Structure 1
Amino acid sequence: MTAQRQALPEPLSGLREPAVVELPPGRPWMAISELNRLIRQQGQARALARAWVLDQLVRAIPLPAGEEKDLMGTFLQRRGVNADEQVPAWLASRGLTFEDLRILATQEQRLQRLCRRRWGAEVEVRFLQRKPALDQVVYSLLRLESEELAAELHQQIAEGEADFPELAPLHSSGPERHSRGQIGPVSLAAGHQTLVGRLRRGRQGELFDPFQAGASWVVLRLEQLLPASLDEANRNLMLRELFNTWLEQRVDTLLEGQPLPALDAMLALLEEDGNP
């Protein structure tokens, strides 16, 4: 299928309805010109563009009718709407249409389906690129003002005379003084680079010689290294990151006033599933 350019919305003219914004549903609140001014003043143009791009995308992603009906039913039940006759009033009170309900209830499932088909083959490469930031670590730490104190406390720990839980509240200058000297699990890439290098190549239980990191002298012990694996949670995370990168590129195109690439080629992948 040949991908065509998706045209931008035409400039609005000759509106039959007043060009106003409703905040409480059904009550005119603000002129469109005032809304435009606030959008730019408060830096909300990107958020609005992203919402429009996402809405257009979700509406275009097919979903089997039975699955859609079940998701809508679950969505309403979780909000205390248990009978069909309650739906119109629930929608009216929120200024929503039935189409809004359909999108709200099924958006996540539609996006998951698209992500699996479009970016599923790219997940492993993305994971390998992101793994250094996904690996986690638990370590014990003292941040100290002088090299002499760092050497003294390091020796006490090495010889078993004292340990991090008792020393951190007394001597450490960082927030670890409130957690008995222990930090984590945290991303291995989140710490100071002088810490990260040691932790990445260290052995569990290894007590490192005192070293300087920024303005502090540090006593450090690696407690546990928790390498990330490509489990279901990380697989979904990689899919969502790949999707968000694509989505933000599409938002950039819209904000630049350029025609959006059509969704035909992407949606054709979903037709291969054999579902409507």
Structure 2
Amino acid sequence: MTVVLQVGNRTITSEEIVPLLASYQLLPRLLFELIIDEAIAPFTHTLEEEESAYEKFCQKNHLDSNRELQTWLKRNGMTAQQLQTYVRRSLKIEKFKQATWGNQLESYFRSRQSEFDQVLFSLIQTNDLAAQELYFRILEKEADFAELARKYSQDANASNGGLIGPVSLSNCHQTLAKMLSVSQPGQLWPPTRLGESMVILRMEKLIPAQLDDLMRQRLLSELFAAWLQEQFNQIGEIGMLP
């Protein structure tokens, strides 16, 4: 038996690797990576692209000196050459994503933009009896919304005058998201039941999502993850050779 891994005082042999991966449920992860390797095989890159990707990796992981780099390599059980291989692979993955879905991003973004739009809103959460009175005091401009929120709201944001956000509609309570999606800035909603409480809601501002670089990366990653899962599902069971 050949020892292939040393972990503390424990040695792992080549015969133990696959059973260990199976027992830790890591074989599917390995299969995902093999699917990726096959998909990215045709893609190439320039030396300049590789150097730029390596530099960005070091910046992201705060590897500003050779000492910090060596410490990171030891902590992650990698050699410098293996890190270069990892960076090259990551670069090819990004090229694969862009080549496969780059021309679909605008239409994909438009179809889902409402999920990414963010809102800023104010909320007062209180009991049934108080809600109606507070609502009319705000509606008739007898009192300031933020002042009443700080004094009467049971919501966690009461000390902030009831102000919440910016937050994506997809991260809001379903009832609130439905109301906010059809609101105009400044619109005040009458008391609405939310669980065991009543809430008074005011839309403050809509912040439309933009198809910027960060959003492009997010969408590409979503499409890539969905594709990878589909490829995995098509393979079926993982066969173990005797």
TM normalised by structure 1 equals 0.70
Q: Is the Cα–Cα contact under 8 Å of residues 188 and 201 in structure 2 kept in the other structure?
A: yes
Report the alpha carbon displacement of residue 239 of structure 1 after superposing the two structures with TM.
1.5
Q: Separation in 2 of the partners of 1:166 and 1:107?
A: 55
Is 1:215 the equivalent of 2:196? yes
1:228 is matched with which residue?
209
Q: Is 2:177 aligned against 1:192?
A: no
Q: Which amino acid aligns with 1:237?
A: R
Q: In the TM superposition, what whole-angstrom CA distance separates every residue of 1:137-179 from its partner, at most 9, and x where no partner exists?
A: 0000011121x31111111212223223222233222222243
- Contact 1:120 1:239 survives alignment (8 Å): yes
After superposition, what is the alpha-carbon deviation per residue over 1:197-216, rounded to whole angstroms, capped at 9, x for unaligned?
22111111111111212222
- State the AA in 2 paired with 1:227: P
Letter in 2 for 1:81: N
What is aligned with 2:160?
Answer: 179
Q: Distance in 1 between matches of 2:182 and 2:57?
A: 48
Give the structure 2 partner of residue 246 of structure 1: 227
Please report the RMSD computed on the Cα atoms of aligned residues, expressed in angstroms.
3.4
Aligned residues of 2:50 and 2:91 also touching (Cα < 8 A): no
TM-score when normalising by structure 2: 0.78
Q: What is the aligned partner in structure 2 of residue 47 from structure 1? A: 29
- Residue 106 (structure 2) pairs with residue 121 (structure 1): no
Q: Matched residues, percent identical? A: 30
Letter of the 1:234 partner, please give it: M
Alignment CA distance shift 1:176-1:21 (3 Å): same
Map of 2:6 onto structure 1? 22
Which structure has more relative contact order (CA 8 Å, sep 6+)? It is 1
Residue correspondence of structure 1 range 127-142 to structure 2 within 5 A: 127-142=109-124
How far 1:184 moved relative to its partner? 0.5
What's the offset of the Cα at 1:136? 0.7
Q: List gaps (5 residues or longer) in structure 2.
A: none
Cα displacement (A) at 1:253? 4.3
- 1:30 shift after superposition: 3.6
Q: Distance between the aligned counterparts of 1:178 and 1:103, measured in 2?
A: 51
Question: Cα distance 1:45–1:174, how it changes in 2: closer, same or farther (>3 A)?
Answer: farther
Matched AA of 1:168: A
Structural mapping, 1:53-202, within 5 Å: 53-54=35-36, 61-72=43-54, 75=57, 78-81=63-66, 95-97=77-79, 99-146=81-128, 148-202=129-183
Structure 1 letter corresponding to 2:2 = E
- 1:21–1:30 contact (8 Å) kept in structure 2: yes
User: Do the aligned partners of residues 219 and 33 (structure 1) sit closer, same or farther apart at CA in structure 2, a change above 3 Å counting?
Assistant: farther
Point out the more displaced range, 236-245 or 157-166: 157-166
Contact 2:169 2:177 in 1 (8 A): yes
Letter in 2 for 1:230: L
